[in-house]
Amino acid sequence: MNIILLGGPGAGKGTQAKKLVARLGVPQVSTGDMLRAAVAEKTDWGRKAKEFMDAGKLVPDEVVIAIIKDRMSLTDATRGSILDGFPRTVPQAQALDRLVVDIGRTIDHVISIEVDETELIGRLCGRRTCKACGQMFHVQHAPSRETGVCDACGGELYQRDDDNEATIRSRLATYNEATRPLIEYYRGKGSLRPIQGTGTIDDIFQRIVAIVEPGR
């Protein structure tokens, strides 16, 4: 089962992707996480990618499409994947459409998590992320039990380099310009399933489950 999660920065794609992984037993494929790993390894293009990311801009399509091709070809993804943060542009979506045909897969659901901009800004400014496992917290809405320590694994919590107000504004502008057209792209294909992205994490998850496991 291949599921695409769409939504602005801070819409909750990563949080819901992790819950879907636990439920469906297929891996999360997050271009953001894979890019941050490359940045941490300080490879040549990891350094290059960091410039785009810190500016709130998109990493070039060729780079992320190549990353996705490699990732979707790994054996753990043969039963499916939860795509979080990819595609983010119409050319990426077209490349994905070709890729799934090439490797004999299908996209089963495109779920758009809808959250308005003021809410997104508040979420991102207070977001803290676990360095070890990627679990996310929010200083006001979802604090960890112990400040700076991950509830899930005891890892250290940090504020992502791009979770500052200037970069957040630029990420939102990039989203509106480059990623929003994808909503129309998938609506046009008849595969878009919008859901309300506010409420508790479990409320939102139930909306997603109702789509991916209808009749349960």
Residue span 149-188 as binding mask against ligand ADP, x where in contact by CB under 6 A, dash where not: -------------x--------x-----------------
Q: Which of 81, 77, 88, 59 is nearest to 177 (CA)?
A: 88
110 close to 191: Cβ distance less than 8 angstroms: yes
The letter for the amino acid at 72 is M
Q: Residue 149 Cβ, how far from ligand ADP at the closest point, in Å?
A: 22
Q: Residue 211 Cβ, how far from ligand ADP at the closest point, in Å?
A: 20
29 close to 77: Cβ distance less than 8 angstroms: yes
Member of 29, 59, 150, 204 binding ligand ADP (CB under 6 A): 59
Q: Residue 215 Cβ, how far from ligand ADP at the closest point, in Å?
A: 31
Query: Does 81 help bind ligand ADP (rule: CB under 6 A)?
Result: no
Binding span for ligand ADP by CB under 6 A among 40-48, 52-60, 106-114, 132-140: 52-60
Catalytic (active site) residue 13: yes
Query: Does 137 help bind ligand ADP (rule: CB under 6 A)?
Result: no
Query: Does 205 help bind ligand ADP (rule: CB under 6 A)?
Result: no
Q: What DSSP line would sit under 9-57, residue for residue?
A: TTSSHHHHHHHHHHHH---EEEHHHHHHHHHHHT-HHHHHHHHHHHTTP
Query: Does 85 help bind ligand ADP (rule: CB under 6 A)?
Result: yes
E strand spans, the chain: 2-6, 28-30, 81-84, 109-114, 127-130, 136-138, 157-158, 192-196
Q: Which does 88 bind (CB under 5 to 8 A by kind): ligand ADP, Zn ion, none?
A: ligand ADP
Count the helices and strands in the chain (H runs, E runs). Answer: 9, 8
Q: Residue 82 Cβ, how far from Zn ion at the closest point, in Å?
A: 19
Measured in Å, how far apart are the chain's first and last C-alpha atoms? Answer: 16
Binding span for ligand ADP by CB under 6 A among 16-24, 55-63, 75-83, 104-112: 55-63
**Where along the sequence are the contacts to Zn ion (CB under 5 A)?**
130, 132-133, 135, 150, 152-153, 155
